[in-house]
Amino acid sequence: PRAAEASRHGLDSESLQRDVLENLVSLQARYPAIATPHDWYMALAYSVRDRLLVRWVETVQSYAARDVRIACYLSAEFLIGPQLGNNLVNLGIEADAREAMLALGQDLDAVMALEEEPGLGNGGLGRLAACYLDSLATLEMPAIGYGIRYEFGIFRQAIRDGWQVEETDKWLQKGNPWEIVRPEVAYYVNFGGHTHSETDAEGRFRVRWIAANQVKGVACDTPVQGYRVETCNTLRLWRSEAVESFDLADFNVGDYYGAVEQKVVSETLSKVLYPNDEPEMGKRLRLAQQYFFVSCSLQDMLRLLQQKGEPIERFADVFVAQLNDTHPSIAVAELMRLLLDECGLQWGQAWDITQRALAYTNHTLLPEALETWGLPLFRGLLPRPLEIIYEINRRFLDEVRQRHPGDESRVSRMSLIDESGDRRIRMAHLATVGSHAINGVAALHSTLLRETVLRDFAELWPERFHNVTNGVTPRRFLALCNPGLARLLDQTVGEGWIADLTRLRGLEAHADDEAFQQRWRAIKNANKEALAKHIHSATGVAVDPRALFDIQVKRIHEYKRQHLNALYIVALYQRLRREPQLALAPRCFVFGGKAAPGYAMAKLIIRLINGIAEVVNNDPAMEGRLKVVFFPNFNVKSAHHIYPAADLSEQISTAGKEASGTGNMKFMMNGVLTIGTLDGANVEIREEAGAENFFLFGLHAQDVERLQREGYRPADHVTANDELREALELIASGHFLRGQSDVFRPLVENLTQWDHFLALADYADYVACQARVDAAWQDPATWTRMSILNTARSGKFSSDRAIREYGDRIWGLAPMK
């Protein structure tokens, strides 16, 4: 491949310019005078892709050679974000591309802005998978990402009359230049039917699965280029297709329509991403999606093993598969099935390989978010995997009984099947039993995981439990999205920070330097001006970049407590109306995030924020003091503008409920101060930044647990706090909904009667903490020093560190670099 490089793959601006022009003609069939901006985007994207392919082919070739272990990251979501800018950064050709496009009369930023967001994920978990792919490639670790190639990603969020409205995400409409479809890499996946036992030619007992239906999975690949290295890994997503031969019988009886209908059903499998960040139990199609991509991925691994000339016994030496939550946990049963039924191994050997090959990451402790499937649905779709799960369970519970004779309550607690109501399969138990390593995603979360959800398992196998605190990629979330700050960092600590984020510690020496502080502020101000423009064009609201930008962007969820933030804004509004002379610094509150379409309370919270925004922003008395913005359709693309422009990061979930959070880390890297609870990775962010550089408030996880156990009475907090009571009354009165008093009632009643996430219990402390924020902000030297120290001490939260830990502790895989 290198031979081709000189001619078509030069990294300088002249060869880029030449290839963009050539691609404009040969791929877009356009000439410059009539080319649309999107044509230019495509021409540049293809030129960049060409430059990735050389490295990609060589990387794949090197993995096919013997003696490398390959980490396979199995995830139902990969929220990869726009590709062009990131690939330019990682190839180190952003400046050359800019020059080339300028010579062609095009502005690189305008061209990049045209890329559609590949929204193949809901939020944190999907974005984490994408950050990990970036780090795996950057650390030159052999890895493949496996997932689903959704035709429609997460919905686009529009705001109409203050309400969220979902629009379909047609991200592929104009084509996807980053995808390479491989029709020859395809596998068949069974669904439904029944099983049949038989004795094979050698007299061995075997099970055959007589499927009612089969679907074909076709590989759709995206290159994942590491930062300034030769490694380019693969993200392999499966697209479902109809199996032609399965329709044959229908054709013979002349049922052409029935056959085509079957084809449509097969193709719906990878049609759309489920837009919930919590399982919607009982959705048959969702279970089918999960089994579909897991089966294709494991079959692909078996084929690669064969290609490498390795025997099946070596499967777990060549591959380790990380399960991103329980979504791919059916891999435990499917790998067993492939090893037993397809490869003819004995149970003991198959089980040993399965356990050694799999590892499971848990991302939630919330009981309502733990995935379970009812037996009838499961049996109807996956009869053979179910038989295998029964056998795994039988053997596992025997082991439990041996360790704890007579302890039948422990046996039923640990069973893979929940028999307490209608019988259901517990996917977290399946993933745990089938894995050699289980990890949580932040120190606090891993501790709570061992003490609560998986307590019995941690007691049985303490050595299998780990913590790997999440991380995010500094390439996308600092170098790419904050070029102004990146330049200052280069000049101050040297360019090495991008691949070794701990070098940012070198900034500490400049934290009190007045001239440096001034440059730091100038960069932040420029970013805020840019965000103000985006806010204006997206919402029509004019915000003043000199105000404190107080930002909460994340999925809308009661446990994340956007309503706590909203309550505080209402209280501020009332205070400012009563006391116009109050010496409060001007603030601009920005919210962003999607609500699951069926989550009524989350949608109501969005309506409330928009209602407050309408009243506050149109009140002349609030001019220059308070602004409220709901930024529609928060996604990776808009995140690029948001994190670098923030002053304050809201991380205010109920302690013990947010597994980690990763937005908190993206803010920190960009010099944003956190107001937060001791939850998820906030705990470690505060440890790293220093307690004096973090605005802490709220109950601790143990307090929350105790309060809920002993009986929590939210109404007591309302009685005790006039400001809070008045804020709730104002909301209930319809003041923020043009006088309609019924709409927000459920929200207010929910808070005053139940308040499942203790917003009212934390309210007073939150308000007091916000006063400390205001005081710190009023002293720019103090604030800027804290901001610099946050960036300086964010090194731990690079996904490079996280991936090294997975490599060392879980995969037995070291960086090649």
> Within 498-560, where are the H helices?
514-539
Query: Measured at the alpha carbon of residue 416, what is the angle toward residues 414 and 422, in degrees to the nearest 5?
Result: 105
37 contacts 281 by C-beta, under 8 angstroms: no
At position 751, the amino acid (one-letter code) is L
What's the closest the beta carbon of residue 324 comes to ligand 26Q, in angstroms? Answer: 9
What's the closest the beta carbon of residue 192 comes to ligand 26Q, in angstroms? Answer: 20
Which residues are catalytic, by number? Answer: 363, 554-555, 560, 662, 666
What's the closest the beta carbon of residue 444 comes to ligand 26Q, in angstroms? Answer: 11
Cα dihedral sign for 26, 223, 476, 679? positive
What's the closest the beta carbon of residue 644 comes to ligand 26Q, in angstroms? Answer: 20
Decide whether 284 or 817 has the Cβ nearer to ligand 26Q: 284
Decide whether 289 or 633 has the Cβ nearer to ligand 26Q: 289
392 contacts 433 by C-beta, under 8 angstroms: yes
- Token pair recorded at residue 34: 């009539």
Query: From CA 380, how far away is CA 377, in angstroms rounded?
Result: 5
Decide whether 280 or 808 has the Cβ nearer to ligand 26Q: 280
What's the closest the beta carbon of residue 750 comes to ligand 26Q, in angstroms? Answer: 21
85 Cβ partners below 8 Å, 6+ apart? Answer: 94, 112, 480
Decide whether 278 or 647 has the Cβ nearer to ligand 26Q: 278
Name residue 241's beta-bridge partners: 216
What's the closest the beta carbon of residue 286 comes to ligand 26Q, in angstroms? Answer: 5
Question: For residue 530, with 0-12 CB atoms within 10 Å meaning exposed, 13-18 middle and 19 or more buried, which class applies?
Answer: middle
Decide whether 280 or 342 has the Cβ nearer to ligand 26Q: 280
Q: What is the DSSP letter of 739?
A: T
Dump the DSSP string for 608-645: HHHHHHHHHHT-GGGTTTEEEEEESS--HHHHHHHGGG
> What is the number of other CB atoms lying within 10 angstroms of the CB of residue 611?
24
Query: Measured at the alpha carbon of residue 369, what is the angle toward residues 367 and 370, in degrees to the nearest 5?
Result: 70
Query: From CA 85, how far away is CA 108, in angstroms rounded?
Result: 9
Decide whether 84 or 128 has the Cβ nearer to ligand 26Q: 128
**499 CA to centre of own chain:** 22
Alpha-carbon distances, residue 163 vs 278, 611, 613, 632 (angstroms):
21, 10, 13, 11
What's the closest the beta carbon of residue 803 comes to ligand 26Q, in angstroms? Answer: 14
Find the residue with minimal CB distance to ligand 26Q. 124
At position 88, the amino acid (one-letter code) is L
Query: From CA 335, how far away is CA 364, in angstroms rounded?
Result: 25
- Token pair recorded at residue 270: 């990878």
Decide whether 85 or 145 has the Cβ nearer to ligand 26Q: 145
β-bridge pairing 143-148 and 232-242:
parallel
Decide whether 87 or 322 has the Cβ nearer to ligand 26Q: 322
Strand stretches in 39-110, DSSP E: 70-74
What's the closest the beta carbon of residue 121 comes to ligand 26Q, in angstroms? Answer: 8
Decide whether 128 or 758 has the Cβ nearer to ligand 26Q: 128
Cα dihedral angle (329, 462, 452, 401), rounded to 10 degrees? 80
What's the closest the beta carbon of residue 467 comes to ligand 26Q, in angstroms? Answer: 12
End-to-end Cα, the chain, rounded Å: 22
What's the closest the beta carbon of residue 334 comes to ligand 26Q, in angstroms? Answer: 17
Starting from the edge strand earliest in sequence, which strands make up the sheet with 465-467, in order? 180-191, 213-225, 232-242, 143-148, 70-74, 319-324, 358-361, 437-440, 465-467
477 contacts 134 by C-beta, under 8 angstroms: no
**Which residues are near ligand 26Q by CB under 6 A?**
122-125, 128, 274, 276-280, 286, 327, 363-364, 371, 441, 470, 658-662, 680
**77 CA to centre of own chain:** 7
Dihedral class, residue 612 (left if φ above 0, else alpha if ψ from -120 to 50, else beta): alpha
Cα dihedral angle (28, 32, 34, 38), rounded to 10 degrees? 50
Query: From CA 479, how far away is CA 501, in angstroms rounded?
Result: 11
Decide whether 471 or 671 has the Cβ nearer to ligand 26Q: 471
What's the closest the beta carbon of residue 555 comes to ligand 26Q, in angstroms? Answer: 7
> What is the number of other CB atoms lying within 10 angstroms of the CB of residue 515?
8
Decide whether 369 or 760 has the Cβ nearer to ligand 26Q: 369
176 contacts 104 by C-beta, under 8 angstroms: no
Which SS3 state, helix, strand or coil, does residue 193 take?
coil
